[in-house]
Amino acid sequence: MDDTGTVVAFYVLSAMTVGSALGVVVVRNLVHAVVFLIVSFMGVAGLYITLSADFVAVTQILIYAGAVSVLLLFAIVLTPRGERGNSESFLRLPALLLALLVAFTLGYVAIDTDWVISDREGFEETASVIGEALLDKYVLPFEIASVLLLAAMLGAIVLVRPETPTEEAGE
C-alpha cells in the first residue's frame, strides 16, 4: 500500500465519495440528489478496488449504482404530485449535532484504538474464495438470504398492486 498510485487513488476517490454525499444533502432537486448518490456509490466501489476487493466492488456497482438507484428513480416518478424538493425538516439542527457527534466519536475511536494490523499483501482474487465460503461455511445464511429476497420481491409486488385489478381480470 505504499505506491503513490494507491495513495492518489484513495484521496481522489474519498473526495469524490464524501463530496457527492454532501451534494445529496445540499442539492434542492430530488432527481439531482439521486445522481449525486450514484456518484457516491461509484466512489465507494473505487475504494473497494483500492482495498483489493474486486468481487465486492463489482457487486456494489451492479446492486447500488444499478438497481437501487433505479428503484429510487422509479419511486420518484411514481409519486408525481409529491414534493420534488429535498429540504430539511424541523429536526435539522439536532440531526446536524448528532451527525457531528457520531462522526467525531467514530473518528476518535478509529484513530485512538491500537488495531492488530497484519502485514499481508492485498488479496490476489476474492471471487472464488467468496463463492466457496458461501456454499460451504455460510450455506445456511445464503439460503436464508434467498428466502428473504423472495419474500421482499413478493411483498413489493403485493404492496404496489392496484386494489381493483380491472385490466388484468380480463386476461
Contact set for another protein, span 68-127 (CB under 8 A): 68, 71-72, 74-76, 78-79, 81-83, 85-92, 94-96, 98-100, 102-103, 106-107, 110-111, 115-118, 120, 122-123, 126
- What's 122-151 look like in SS3? CCCCCHHHHHHHHHCCCHHHHHHHHHHHHH
Q: What is the grid cell recorded at 144? A: 436464508
Q: What is the grid cell recorded at 155? A: 411483498
Minimal distance, residue 75 CB to another protein, in Å: 4
Decide whether 113 or 169 has the Cβ nearer to another protein: 113
Spatial separation of the C-alpha atoms in residues 85 and 115, rounded to whole Å: 43
Decide whether 155 or 165 has the Cβ nearer to another protein: 155
Spatial separation of the C-alpha atoms in residues 9 and 49, rounded to whole Å: 10
Minimal distance, residue 165 CB to another protein, in Å: 15
User: If binding means CB under 8 A, how many residues of this protein chain bind another protein?
Assistant: 88
Minimal distance, residue 14 CB to another protein, in Å: 5
- Residues in region 129-158 near another protein by CB under 8 A: 129-130, 133-134, 138, 141, 145, 148-149, 151-153, 155-156
Decide whether 87 or 171 has the Cβ nearer to another protein: 87
- Residues in region 44-73 near another protein by CB under 8 A: 44, 47-48, 50-53, 55-56, 59-60, 63-64, 67-68, 71-72
Spatial separation of the C-alpha atoms in residues 55 and 44, rounded to whole Å: 13
23 beta partners: none
- Residue 14 interacts with another protein (CB under 8 A): yes or no: yes
**Contact assessment for residue 56 and residue 125, using Cβ atoms and an 8 Å cutoff:** no
Q: What is the grid cell recorded at 118? A: 497484519
**Contact assessment for residue 107 and residue 54, using Cβ atoms and an 8 Å cutoff:** no
